[in-house]
Amino acid sequence: MRLIAIAALGFFIFSCAPDKPQNQEDFPDQPKSTKSAVEDVINDPTKGIGAVKSVTLNSPLEQDRVKRGLAIYEMKCSACHKLDDKRVVGPGWKDVTKNRKPEWIMNMITNVDVMLEKDPEAQKLLELCLMRMPNQNMSIGDARDVLEFMRQNDGEK
């Protein structure tokens, strides 16, 4: 059963991966969840569904991450997301870090297919935008970098 799941995941990753994740950094401190996705939502709906269970934010901002996050944004996200509050294809990113938990944002970035299927907040966005955000093949490290860039965009220092 588990082998099939891994094989399916592998196929999925290779079949629709446009390009490799940039930041291969591990996040080994993520507790292994034994719960199902549905239980995740019931336990803490504000954190979304996926591998990211807890994120530590530092102040001041980590400038290396901001720089990498900006580069990823320009390459993979800017076609659909603007940095102000205007929706283009997807919602503008202004204040996204104030309205959502960091865990939710990173799960949305790294686990978008499941989020759109099961997370109530992601589904509300889908109803609004009428288009599914494509899987951008982002590692957790990439997502953390983009999150740092979003924090800067929201005025954090």
Does the protein bind ligand HEC through residue 90 (CB under 6 A)?
A: yes
Does the protein bind ligand HEC through residue 70 (CB under 6 A)?
A: no
Taking the C-alpha atoms of residue 102 and residue 143, their distance in angstroms, rounded to an integer, is 10
CB-neighbour burial class of residue 33 (10 A; exposed 0-12, middle 13-18, buried 19+) = middle
* Contact between residue 147 and residue 106 where contact means Cβ atoms under 8 Å apart: yes
Could you tell me how many residues of this chain bind ligand HEC (CB under 6 A)? 25
Which residue matches tokens 């609004």?
128
Q: How far is the CB of 96 from ligand HEC (least distance, A)?
A: 5
Token pair of 2, please? Answer: 């588990």
Token pair of 134, please? Answer: 């494509």
Binding span for ligand HEC by CB under 6 A among 4-12, 32-40, 50-58, 100-108: 100-108
Closest CA to 133 of 97, 100, 101, 91: 91
Q: How far is the CB of 134 from ligand HEC (least distance, A)?
A: 5
Taking the C-alpha atoms of residue 47 and residue 90, their distance in angstroms, rounded to an integer, is 20
With respect to ligand HEC, which residue has the nearer C-beta, 20 or 32?
A: 20
Does the protein bind ligand HEC through residue 118 (CB under 6 A)?
A: no
Token pair of 70, please? Answer: 């900006």
For ligand HEC, the binding residue among 51, 80, 83, 114 (CB under 6 A) is: 80
Binding span for ligand HEC by CB under 6 A among 9-17, 21-29, 36-44, 134-142: 134-142
Does the protein bind ligand HEC through residue 51 (CB under 6 A)?
A: no
**Under the rule (CB under 6 A), what is the footprint of ligand HEC?**
72, 76-77, 79-81, 89-91, 96, 100, 105, 108-109, 116, 125-126, 129, 131-134, 136, 138, 146
